Structure 1
Amino acid sequence: TPKPTKLSSYLFSCVQPQLQLGAVSEALQSGSGLVWVVMQRRLFFRRRLPVSRRALSRSLHVPTEQRAYVDGEWIESRTGRTFEVRDPANGKLLAEVPSLSVDDARRAIQAASAAQEKWKKESPERRAKLLRAWYDEIVGPMRDEIAETMTLECGKPIAESQAEVAYAASFVEFFSEQVRRINGDILPTPSENKHIFITREPVGVVAAITPWNFPAAMVTRKAAPALAAGCSMILKPAEATPLTALLLAKAAERAGMPPGVLNVVPASRVDGQQIGEVLCRDDRVRKLSFTGSTEVGKLLYRSCADSVKRMSLELGGNAPFLAFDGCNVEAAVKALMANKFRNAGQTCICTNRVLVQKGCQEEFLEVLRFEMSKLNVGHGLNLDTTIGPLISMKGKEKVEGLVCSAVAEGAQMVELPGYSETGFDGTNFYPPSLLIDVQPSMSIAREEVFGPVVSVTTFSTEEEGVNLANDTPFGLASYFFSGNTAQCFRVAGALEYGMVGVNEGLLSTAVAPFGGIKQSGIGREGSVYGVDEYLEMKYQAWNPLV
């Protein structure tokens, strides 16, 4: 595992091998930063990707725990197999992590099942204190290590990683308080001298499978309510980003979480598929929570059918962003920028389609083009970076294919000020791109792009805009800007989505229910409703006279 000391030397060493991949390359170190250019067709990057002198000057954190966590122990795989975790910005090896086997997964299920019996009997006060201690570890001594590890394995800018640590911790804090509010009920009965009691009890052992794009927040958004409800958990993190999840397990261990309550089972793609089957089919696992693609979610849904598990599925999206005539264009573009380019456009709720009414199209595109020209592409540990790499070459190739297909079908690529036809051949970087004249039938308007590409379609009437927005099998998040209050109520009610941003581009918060409808999933995460996903309702009919 490489252990770089200073960020500037680390970044310079990161980019040097990539410079050999282009037809024309130049690299120099100057007082104002690092400059590199590699000629390539079609891609548009900023001419200058500076290494800020304000960048992290202290030694980087190297992940201190790279083993699996089962039953309160840090373990290797019984098979001895490992898989590599690499920095998506440059391909450098970060760690070799145990790839757990089916036998290891069964051990984790056994540990969680045994811990479940004790954990569900813990008092709400005890569970609340342990969750609060976990929160304190995340935002306290381990905050920087988690954030920097996240940037290294996921690629997102360090400022976003730091924000995600706070966001992830907010779920732990919220549900540490919600533990004390898991209440039952007493209902009136139709018969004299009888009583109806309603209790809510833990569903049991929970399996969670989390994605790579939010490697901290997706863990705590599932684990915190489960643990609050009295459930134990087996967590399978994404193959690309297991290190952040392992650090969160370390934080839980430091907080005093009992053995077996939280287990982390990293695995390679092949071993992970087998572990997924075990988690779906084992009767001791009573619930599965998954965040990821709709395709994989459907497979897991089918696999869980035989044991009739409780399911929470947060799946793909195709989020529209509508700008109506008369809206505050500058505010709309500002919200779009914050929404669309977070994690280089690799989020399930970021805008996938921008729908602009014809009356404000010209102004909207002018402001958007100007704002997009300010984006900086580079390694996430550079404090000036606003766009990091895509997670993999496969992800980049998908984005390239969608853009090329759209241009071939008549969409136009808008040149951005400050960008030129230069790029990184053979790397995972993809430039911010603006497409106009995108038609609803194009693949880029039908599929989840997962990249820093804005595709713009125009519409004439409110009805047409809403119909375009709803013309998708997905229903996760949607956004619109309007200056007309009556229109806001109409459109918010007409959009077929689980979440709607009205003159707002950021939806995520621990206090609101996160989730979609249609093929975007089942259930909700976060908020007072999130804990219900991990509880069963029991009805007791009492006749005290018998």
Structure 2
Amino acid sequence: MHTGGLIVDPGSNKGPHMIESYLLKHLAGYIDGQWVEADSGETAEVFNPANSKQLAAIPYMKAAETKRAIAAAKAALPHVPDVATRREWLEDMRDALLDEKEEIGRILCLEHGKPWKEAQGEVEYAASFFDYHAGMMEEALAPEVLPQKAKDCTWTVHKRSIGVAGLITPWNFPIGMIAKKIAPAIAAGCPTVTKPATETPLTMIAMFQLMHERLDLPKGMVNLVMGSSKDIGGELMSSPDVPMISFTGSTGVGQLLIEQSKDWVKKLGLELGGNAPFIVLDDADLDSAADHLIANKFRGGGQTCVCANRIYVQSSVYDEFSKKVIDRVKALKVGDGMDEDVNVGPLINAAGFDKVKDHVQDALSKGAKLEVGKHPDELDSDKSLFYSPTVITDVTHDMKCCTDETFGPLVPLIKFDTDEEALKLGNQTEFGLASYVFGKDEARAHKIIANLHFGHCGFNTGTGPAAHAPFGGMLQSGVGREGGHDGLMEYIELQTVPSAD
């Protein structure tokens, strides 16, 4: 039984495939305004992780196709239209995504596994980035005349497109992550070369189909290459014609991109790994905290960089909060995301499944107690990628589920006594992406928040990022921001022009 993901398979991708959609007319890459196959004829198989059935075969591209995509993007630069036209593109894409949210959500559900309703929510989230940037770009990109004069000059700061941008996205948010990147890139006037994750390329193809049909883009304005991460990424990093790379993925790959960027001093936007603490103080609304934890933890089956990984609960409310969480987790329905009322779908592949299993086994071997979920000895990724939502108590900080990001449906509950201890444990990681604090005393909670080294910190909420707000990590969780004015500025070079009076 195949466990999901993507396998290289020589041969044509024009044969029959299991998924049928009017948004997948072309199971192909997109370069210079044309749908294209891989030069080698190699294809890759995309599987549904809920049943391990093949969904499609797509081109497996490498360096040569990437070079052509970069050349097409560079050639598009002189033809990028004015701000008003680009705003219309963003508005049209917002509308297209909302019009097609059910079908895009279905495609997303089939290749990722997250429930269809949740997938449609991701499409709405993606649309919000096009909407936000359309609404703010004209003012944000207008030249700024500085009020101060110096050296007998008037000083004006212009916002110039950085040029061609390479966009590399992960599998866990197949359309949300590309929207975060391509919306501000289009707003800034940057032609793009996009590489989707090998596990979930179909949602991206559907989005490019909408751009092809609904937007009057110059050839080369948007390009899609998929296949070899090493070859495509290597070409993007080695090309002097790609001054900016936006990447979401693991810290290890991010560190490699930093090394590879030195020859051309590329600008990098990196959203990398996380290990989010979720701190419940003794004065918190425990029902609200438990509800937010469930929504946060089990979104995407726990396969998100911002989901709670370490749940710290103050000793005096530990037992009460644990019971509330256990009761809620027991009520979750696991199954195929296309089935009605399913809360949690499958994990993406066997590697992800086995990591969760290993974390649970490690914790139990060190004294943790299994409260909800199947014992890991009962689970086998060769038989199914559905991992039972799991709660463990009596967790200590030497367990893998605290030191590493689990990326799955595991809730480890950890006891703490003082606020100082919660802060110390929360910061006991090299990652600094997301964190959460629950408590009624705002001054007390914000004292903790101010000392947490995380770029995102929810106060009495488990919500993740939004289009209008900057989002990104500290420490080894990355550099740069996505969303908000700051996210747009990632694709801008500032040019200062002093003019003699």
TM (norm. structure 2) is 0.93
Change in CA separation of 1:473 and 1:192 when aligned onto 2, cut-off 3 Å: closer
- Compute the displacement of 1:425 (Å): 5.4
Query: Where does residue 226 of structure 1 map in the other structure?
Result: 185
1:294 and 1:192 map into 2 onto residues whose CA distance is 46
- Residue number in structure 2 paired with 1:209: 168
Question: How many angstroms apart in 2 are the aligned matches of 1:477 and 1:143?
Answer: 27
Aligned counterparts, 1:405-444, within 5 A: 405-415=362-372, 426-444=383-401
Pairing 1:510–2:471 present: no
Residue identity opposite 1:347 in structure 2: T
Residues 311, 101 of structure 1: alpha-carbon distance in 2 compared, 3 angstrom cutoff: same
Give a deviation string over 1:370-390, Cα, whole Å, max 9, x none.
000111111110112111010
Partner of 1:109: 70
Q: Distance in 2 between matches of 1:260 and 1:365?
A: 54
How many residues are aligned here? Answer: 481
1:162 aligns with 2:123: no
Determine whether 1:298 maps to 2:277.
no
Q: Which residue of 2 aligns with 1:264?
A: 224
Of 208, 231, 234, the residue aligned with 1:249 is: 208
Change (3 A) 1:416 1:143: closer
Verify the 8 A CA contact 2:379 2:387 in the aligned structure 1.
no
Among 83, 86, 91, the residue aligned to 2:47: 86
The match for 1:359 is 316
Distance in 2, Cα, partners of 1:67 & 1:396: 29
Q: List alignment gaps of at least 5 residues for structure 1.
A: 1-16, 19-58
Are the structure 2 counterparts of residues 126 and 332 from structure 1 closer, same or farther at C-alpha, using a change threshold of 3 Å?
same
Aligned partner of 2:212: which letter?
A: E
Q: Give the 3 Å change call, closer, same or farther, for CA 540–377 of structure 1 in structure 2.
A: same
Conserved? CA contact 2:50–2:385, under 8 Å: yes
Indicate how the Cα distance of structure 1 residues 98 and 424 shifts in structure 2: closer, same or farther if over 3 A, else same. Answer: closer
Say yes or no: does 1:184 pair with 2:143.
yes
Q: Secondary structure at the match of 1:308?
A: coil
Kept in 1: contact 2:354–2:381 (CA 8 A): no
For residues 229 and 320 of structure 2, the distance between their equivalents in structure 1, rounded to whole angstroms, comes to 49
Output the CA distance in 2 between the equivalents of 1:195 and 1:414.
68
Partner of 1:31 in structure 2?
none
Amino acid at match of 1:442: M
Pick aligned residue for 2:111 from 149, 153, 156: 153
Write the deviation string for residues 212-233 of structure 1: whole angstroms up to 9, x where unpaired: 0000010111000001001010
User: SS of the residue aligned with 1:288?
Assistant: strand
Q: Is the 2:315–2:415 contact (alpha carbons within 8 Å) kept by the matching residues of 1? A: yes
Shift of 1:412: 1.2
Aligned 8 A contact 1:340 1:350 in 2: yes
SS across alignment from 1:376: coil
SS at match of 2:58: strand
Matching of residue 126 in structure 1 with residue 85 in structure 2? yes
- Residue identity matched to 1:509: A
1:392 and 2:356 correspond: no
Secondary structure of 2:87's counterpart equals helix
**Same amino acid, percent of matched pairs:** 38
Q: Given the alignment of the two structures, is residue 341 of structure 1 paired with residue 302 of structure 2, yes or no?
A: no
How is 1:45-64 mapped onto 2 (pairs within 5 angstroms)?
61=21, 63-64=24-25
**Please, what is the CA RMSD of the aligned residues?**
1.9
User: Alpha carbons of 1:368 and 1:536: their partners in 2 closer, same or farther (altered >3 Å)?
Assistant: same
The letter for the 2-side match of 1:185 is: E
Residue number among 269, 285, 293 corresponding to 1:312 in the alignment: 269
What is aligned with 2:6? none
The secondary structure found in structure 2 opposite 1:413 is: strand
- The one-letter amino acid of 1:117's match is P
**AA partner of residue 153 (structure 2):** K
Larger deviation, residues 240-249 vs 172-181: 172-181
For residues 230-269 of structure 1, the C-alpha deviation after alignment (integer angstroms, 9 at most, x for no partner) is 10100000000011011111111122232211111011xx
How far apart are 1:123 and its partner, in Å? 1.4
Question: Per the alignment, do residues 189 and 326 of structure 1 end up closer, same or farther by CA in structure 2, a change over 3 Å counting?
Answer: closer
1:71 is matched with 32
Asked if structure 1 preserves the Cα contact closer than 8 Å seen for 2:330 and 2:372, the reply is no
Amino acid at match of 1:524: R
Q: 2:132 and 2:413 mapped to 1: Cα distance?
A: 38
Q: Does 1:500 find its partner at 2:460? A: no
State whether residues 42 and 59 of structure 2, in contact with CA within 8 Å, keep that contact through their aligned partners in structure 1: yes
* Structure 1 residue 396: Cα displacement: 0.5
Q: CA deviation at 1:416?
A: 5.8
| Amino acid paired to 1:274 | D
**1:379 lines up with 2:339 in the alignment:** no
8 Å CA contact retained: 1:61, 1:148? no
Aligned counterparts of 1:133 and 1:500: Cα–Cα separation in 2? 33
* Residue 95 of structure 1 pairs with residue 60 of structure 2: no
Normalising to structure 1: TM-score of the pair?
A: 0.85
Using a 3 Å threshold, how does the CA distance of structure 1 residues 173 and 470 change in structure 2: closer, same or farther?
same
Given that 2:416 and 2:422 are in contact with CA atoms closer than 8 Å, whether structure 1 keeps it comes out as yes
* Structure 2 equivalent of residue 173 of structure 1: 131
Take 2:483 and 2:379, find their aligned partners in 1: how far apart are those partners? 42
Cα pair distance change 1:192/1:384, threshold 3 Å = closer
Contact 1:127 1:179 in 2 (8 A): no
Q: Secondary structure of 1:307's partner?
A: coil
Within 1, Cα distance between the matches of 2:382 and 2:82?
57
Shift of 1:423: 7.8
What is the one-letter code of the residue matched to 2:384?
A: T
* Cα distance between partner residues in 2 of 1:191 and 1:391: 58
